[in-house]
């Protein structure tokens, strides 16, 4: 682009040359007037001198003509440049204007006039602030003062008012120069940014709406989680009675008749299936809400597979399916949550057995796709899946047409398993051929650690035998059906006397009065809850040594972990399983017996309790 200063300098040089030529002309005329008789000068010259003079005059005339021609050429080029400059200046895609130090518009191009909806004539000699929105004039004055003081380029975005009173947003770039008289003038470049500003406003509004929607979704998820937790608790309480008393009848004396046993089996199977459905829904809700926490660490894969083999042997035998597990040459540690890893494997193995053929097979193998990952494969000889069903496999509550079949299921086990594997940093997939079978697999990262972590929620196995001495057990529970169930369970331990309290206030008073050897504590109690009651017991030297078992329908992983961290000897979930309850009961009574024995030799009981709780 041609600078305006260059054109002004060319104009000044041209004017100076014209003035010099005019001055020469006048001097020549004056000199000619002083010679009265030009021919007298020639008469005194020789012929050769005259010839030389005429030659010099002709040469000088030619030089003048050449200079005049050069001046005409330069003038034409200057006019072309001036025309090109004004075309570029006037028709530029941005608005240009020159503003004096006092704030008056001295010059503006056509784009500037079009931008503001006025003519160039109406712009010149008018204050630039006349076109600035009142709310943005402070912004303009701020950059104007900074520009005049520092001389550094300034930018801003301001709202301006057009000739028809409509408003536009412009991006303004300002520089300062000196004019021919040495005064400061500002040169402004204006760009219309109205569309972008409106888009920015729309984007800001959309972001606000998204943030509001996110907050509403968070509240909805929280409400859903609270609802599911409350629903789980409310469902587990009656289910605890159903399954508990059914187990009592099935194992009672005299033994039930075959018809009665068949009826009890229906009750137990339906009850455990309902419990499985509740657990699956809670797991899925916890994962989707981001509230499911994992205890990650090095887990020995051979040990987990051995546990799964022990758990699946009876089911596979009853179904007539043969399961084979791999053998490991050495220790294989994977980075996972032990409990959740076992849950994934049990789910895959259960499906492989349930949906297999009679006399079918299930092969569990492992491969190393990379040096840092292990893949576990569960291959069955079932009916396989078509491509259409494979596409629907990991959809919640979709059982792929098995709803009318003989096998019970929830349709969420695979969904939960896949999400758990992904939370542990792995991946899950399936390969299936209709009529041949399926291979479900998942991969996990290998762990470099050599010592696996112990899951605090696991209860050590204890001998299933009654304690011979007489003991008092206090059960604090506000549900009469649960109280009646535990009463009948405790009757199976001769020498154990059960006391009951319907709230923590009464229960704490009975603790001080009867000094029981073991306390069974519900969590959701009226008034003082189970956690608060446990703290009161632990803060009192007279009761801090008494083991306390939690029995609760709050079964979320964080509930269980909170209970163990608070100091409960164990955390049993409702519906209780008879074998687990009896083992935990014996564990608590055995701990009391150990405390009493050691206290006879001078060992403080509270030290023993703390050590066992930690273990």
What pLDDT is attached to residue 577? 85
Q: What percent of the chain has pLDDT over 70?
A: 78
Same domain (yes/no): 437, 576: no
pLDDT, tens digit (0-9, with 9 covering 90-100), for 182-204: 889 999 999 999 999 889 889 99
Is the residue at 466 inside a domain? no
In whole angstroms, give the CA distance from residue 53 to residue 28. Answer: 16
Please tell me the pTM assigned to this model: 0.40
Same domain (yes/no): 305, 425: yes
Q: Residue 372 above 70 pLDDT?
A: yes
What pLDDT is attached to residue 405? 47
Nearest to 358 by CA among 405, 403, 401, 322: 322
Is the residue at 464 inside a domain? no
How many domains does the chain fold into? 5
Give the length of the chain.
615
Same domain (yes/no): 267, 317: no
What pLDDT is attached to residue 615? 29
Same domain (yes/no): 304, 428: yes
Same domain (yes/no): 83, 101: no
Backbone φ and ψ for 400, nearest 5 degrees, come out as 55, 45
Q: Residue 614 above 50 pLDDT?
A: no
Q: Which of 168, 192, 216 is the last residue of a domain?
A: 192
Q: Which of 27, 62, 90 is the last residue of a domain?
A: 90
CATH number of the domain where residue 551 is located = 3.40.50.2300
How crowded is residue 144: how many other Cβ atoms within 10 Å of its Cβ?
Answer: 21
Is the residue at 427 inside a domain? yes
Q: Report which listed range, 210-224, 473-487, 581-595, is most confident.
A: 473-487
Is the residue at 455 inside a domain? no
Q: Looking at residues 519-540, what average pLDDT do you find? A: 91
* pLDDT classification of 452: cutoffs 50, 70, 90: very low
Same domain (yes/no): 486, 549: yes
Q: Residue 380 above 60 pLDDT?
A: yes
Is the residue at 457 inside a domain? no
Is the residue at 599 inside a domain? yes
Q: Residue 253 above 50 pLDDT?
A: yes
Q: Which of 61, 90, 119 is the last residue of a domain?
A: 90
User: In sequence order, which residues have a C-beta less than 8 Å from that of residue 88 and are 6 or more positions away?
Assistant: 1, 2
Same domain (yes/no): 117, 174: yes
Q: Looking at residues 373-392, what average pLDDT do you find? A: 85
pLDDT, tens digit (0-9, with 9 covering 90-100), for 8-48: 555 655 665 566 566 666 766 665 665 555 555 556 667 77
Same domain (yes/no): 315, 440: yes
Is the residue at 459 inside a domain? no
* pLDDT classification of 603: cutoffs 50, 70, 90: very low
Give the chain's radius of gyration (CA, Å): 48
Same domain (yes/no): 120, 180: yes
CATH number of the domain where residue 210 is located = 1.10.287.130
Nearest to 98 by CA among 176, 171, 155: 176
Q: Residue 93 above 80 pLDDT?
A: yes
Same domain (yes/no): 60, 188: no
Same domain (yes/no): 262, 167: no
How crowded is residue 462: how many other Cβ atoms within 10 Å of its Cβ?
Answer: 16
Q: Report which listed range, 3-7, 218-222, 323-327, 479-483, is most confident.
A: 323-327
By mean pLDDT, which of 33-42, 156-165, 276-285, 570-579 is the weakest?
A: 33-42
More confident residue, 560 or 285: 560
193 near 159, Cβ under 8 Å? no
Is the residue at 312 inside a domain? yes
Q: Cis before residue 575, ω within 30 degrees of 0?
A: yes
Nearest to 528 by CA among 561, 498, 506: 506
Instruction: Give the structural domain span for 375.
Output: 297-445
Same domain (yes/no): 339, 282: no
Q: Residue 232 above 70 pLDDT?
A: no
CATH number of the domain where residue 357 is located = 3.30.565.10
């Amino acid at each position: 682009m041609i600078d305006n200063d260059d054109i002004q300098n060319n104009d000044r040089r041209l004017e100076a040359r014209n003035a010099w030529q005019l001055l020469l002309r006048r001097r020549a005329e004056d000199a000619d007037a002083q010679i009265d008789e030009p021919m007298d000068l020639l008469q005194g010259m020789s012929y050769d001198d005259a010839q030389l003079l005429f030659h010099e005059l002709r040469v000088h005339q030619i030089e003048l003509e050449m200079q005049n021609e050069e001046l005409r050429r330069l003038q034409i080029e200057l006019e072309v440049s001036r025309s090109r400059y004004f075309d570029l200046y006037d028709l530029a895609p941005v608005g240009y204007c020159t503003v004096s130090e006092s704030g008056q518009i001295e010059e503006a191009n056509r784009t500037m006039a079009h931008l503001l909806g006025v003519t160039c004539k109406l712009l010149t000699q008018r204050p630039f602030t006349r076109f600035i929105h009142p709310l943005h004039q402070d912004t303009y004055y701020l950059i104007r003062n900074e520009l005049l003081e520092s001389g550094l380029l300034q930018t801003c975005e301001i709202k301006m008012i057009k000739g028809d009173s409509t408003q536009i947003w412009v991006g303004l770039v300002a520089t300062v120069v000196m004019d021919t008289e040495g005064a400061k003038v500002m040169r402004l470049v204006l760009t219309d940014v109205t569309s972008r500003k409106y888009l920015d406003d729309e984007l800001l509004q959309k972001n606000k709406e998204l943030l509001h929607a996110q907050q509403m979704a968070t509240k909805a998820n929280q409400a859903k989680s609270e609802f599911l937790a409350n629903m789980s608790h409310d469902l587990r309480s009656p289910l605890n009675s159903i399954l508990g008393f059914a187990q009592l009848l099935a194992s009672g004396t005299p033994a039930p008749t075959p018809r009665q046993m068949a009826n009890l089996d229906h009750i137990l199977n339906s009850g455990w299936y309902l419990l499985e459905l509740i657990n699956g829904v809670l797991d899925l809700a916890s994962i989707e809400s981001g509230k499911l926490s994992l205890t990650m660490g090095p887990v020995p894969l051979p040990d987990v597979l051995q546990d799964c083999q022990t758990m699946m042997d009876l089911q596979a035998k009853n179904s007539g399916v043969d399961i084979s597990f791999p053998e490991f040459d050495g220790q294989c540690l994977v980075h996972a949550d032990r409990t959740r890893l076992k849950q994934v494997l049990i789910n895959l193995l259960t499906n492989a057995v349930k949906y297999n053929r009679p006399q079918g097979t299930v092969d569990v193998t492992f491969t190393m796709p990379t040096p840092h990952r292990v893949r576990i494969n569960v291959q069955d000889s079932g009916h396989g899946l078509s491509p259409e069903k494979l596409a629907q496999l990991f959809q919640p509550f979709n059982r792929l047409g098995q709803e009318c079949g003989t096998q019970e299921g929830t349709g969420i086990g695979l969904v939960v398993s896949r999400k758990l594997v992904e939370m542990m940093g792995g991946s899950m997939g399936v390969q299936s051929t209709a009529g041949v079978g399926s291979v479900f697999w998942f991969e996990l990262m290998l762990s470099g650690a050599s010592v696996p972590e112990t899951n605090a929620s696991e209860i050590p196995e204890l001998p299933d035998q009654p304690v011979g001495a007489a003991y008092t057990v206090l059960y604090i529970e506000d549900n009469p059906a649960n109280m009646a169930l535990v009463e009948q369970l405790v009757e199976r331990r001769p020498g154990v006397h059960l006391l009951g309290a319907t709230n923590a206030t009464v229960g704490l008073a009975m603790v001080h009065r009867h000094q029981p050897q073991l306390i069974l504590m519900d969590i959701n109690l009226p008034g003082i809850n189970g956690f608060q009651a446990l703290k009161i017991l632990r803060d009192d030297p007279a009761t801090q040594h008494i083991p306390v078992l939690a029995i609760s329908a709050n079964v979320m992983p964080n509930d269980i972990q909170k209970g163990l961290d608070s100091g409960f000897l164990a955390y049993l979930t409702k519906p209780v399983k008879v074998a687990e309850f009896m083992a935990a009961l014996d564990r608590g009574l055995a701990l009391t017996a150990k405390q009493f024995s050691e206290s006879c030799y001078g060992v403080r009981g509270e030290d023993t309790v703390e050590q066992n709780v930690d273990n």
